[in-house]
Every structure is written in structure tokens, then in C-alpha cells.
Chains A and B, each alone.
Chain A
Amino acid sequence: QVQLQESGPGLVKSSETLSLTCSVSGDSVSDYSWSWIRQPAGKGLEWIGRAHSGGFTNYNPSLKSRATLSVDASKNEFSLRLTSVTAADTAVYYCTKARGGTGHNGWKDNYYGMYVWGHGTTVTVSS
């Protein structure tokens, strides 16, 4: 059974860089799409970006190029770096696994949905 575990500092100072890691157990990071999702307290879900072991990445433009995702197959983990953080980046951060497939309009990286989620890690940005 696949399990994802987020790790990283719970507290980051404003203007600094947030680094989070998602450790994958029970499966290989190869050949799947790995995303980071965040959720401010009491609010909805925001997709941050997605990485594939083949080196492909996609990002949410709302983050204005502050996010970098990467997959490390040798450690079976993937990571998120978010630079120049502010209080608006305070949230619970989730890592997720998705699998691609072919639907009505061709190949979709997340066709089967985000079917595995980590428990989430709370990040607070302090001034």
C-alpha cells in the first residue's frame, strides 16, 4: 500500500525559502505524477505544481515562479521549494500521487485523479 509522508520545517520566516519533502513508501516514484496541494486554514484547496520522474514539471502561475518541484528516484521522494514566502503561504501542504491515462480528449497526466494523499504538514510563515 502506497504511503506518502510530508516533512519539513513547521515555521519559516518571511522572505525565506520553504523546503518540503514527500517520502514515498510502498511504490516507486517512477512513472507517476506527483503534486503539491496547499490549504490555508478554513479555506479551499490550491494546486501548487506537479512533477514527473521523467523531468516534466507544471506550475501554478499564481505563485509567480517561486515554486520548484523535483523528483529524486534514488531516494524515492519528491520535493517542493518555495522562495520569498509571506504570511499568505501559511497553510497545510499535501503531497499527492496521480496516474495518467487516456480519456475522451486524449492523454491526461492526472486522469485517474489524485488517489493517494499524504496526511499534510502545517507550515506557518512568521514575520
Chain B
Amino acid sequence: DIQLTQSPSFLSTFVGDRVTVTCRASQGIFNSVAWYQQKPGKAPNLLIYAASAVQGGVPSRFSGSGSGTEFTLTITSLQPEDVAIYYCQQYNEYPLTFGGGTKVEIK
């Protein structure tokens, strides 16, 4: 199975700050990565697919990049409504796997 390691597992920063979450894969997975946002008590919501394609309706402050084994989710200016857990997911091969999540909070 392909393991996905997210870092950091937790971050707390200020409104307006730039936030970067990293996802590293145990082997090359081209650009077969999606990112999801999960708010408390809610189902995850797709933000990014194919490593860098932004899902329709997602605010432009969210972006994704990377290929191979290292991927990044960036929030250019953190907003209070962005408090959530963020997960990366690979779909290059089965079984599909998720990273362990990054919890983002506001200071």
C-alpha cells in the first residue's frame, strides 16, 4: 500500500497568514492526489484533485502543487472559516489511501 505522511499534524496561526501543508508519498504517484477539508461534525469536502486542479466553488485562496512523491496544499490567506482538518488522498493505485490529517486552528 502507498503510505501518505502529512506534516505538520497540527498548526495554529493567525488570520491572514499563509498556510502550507505537505503530503509525502511512500512511492511515486505522478499527480494522482486529492485534498479534502473536513470541518467538525461534517463530511469531508473536495478542494483539489490531480494535485493542482481546484474543485469548482472552492475559494481561490486554496491551491495545490507537486508531483511524484511530494505534494503541497497552500492557503494564501487563512480565514476563520478555514478551521478544519485537511487530508490528502492518493488514487494512483488501489487501495486508495489517505494521509493522517493536518488540523488547522486560529491563534
State the A residues within 8 Å of B (CB): 35, 37, 44-47, 50, 58-62, 94, 98, 103-105, 108-115, 117-120
Complex contacts, B99 vs chain A, CB 8 Å? 44
* Cβ–Cβ < 8 Å partners of A108 in chain B: 32, 91-92
Cβ B95 vs Cβ A111 within 8 A: no
Contact of B97 among A47, A94, A114, A120 (CB under 8 A): A47
Tell me the B residues contacting A by CB distance below 8 Å: 1, 30-32, 34, 36, 43-46, 48-50, 55, 67, 87, 89, 91-92, 94-101
Q: List 8 A-B contacts (CB under 8 A).
A: A45-B36, A45-B89, A60-B95, A94-B44, A104-B30, A105-B92, A108-B92, A113-B46
Main secondary structure of the interface of B (DSSP, over half): loop
Known: A108-B91, A113-B55. A118 touches B100 (CB 8 A): no
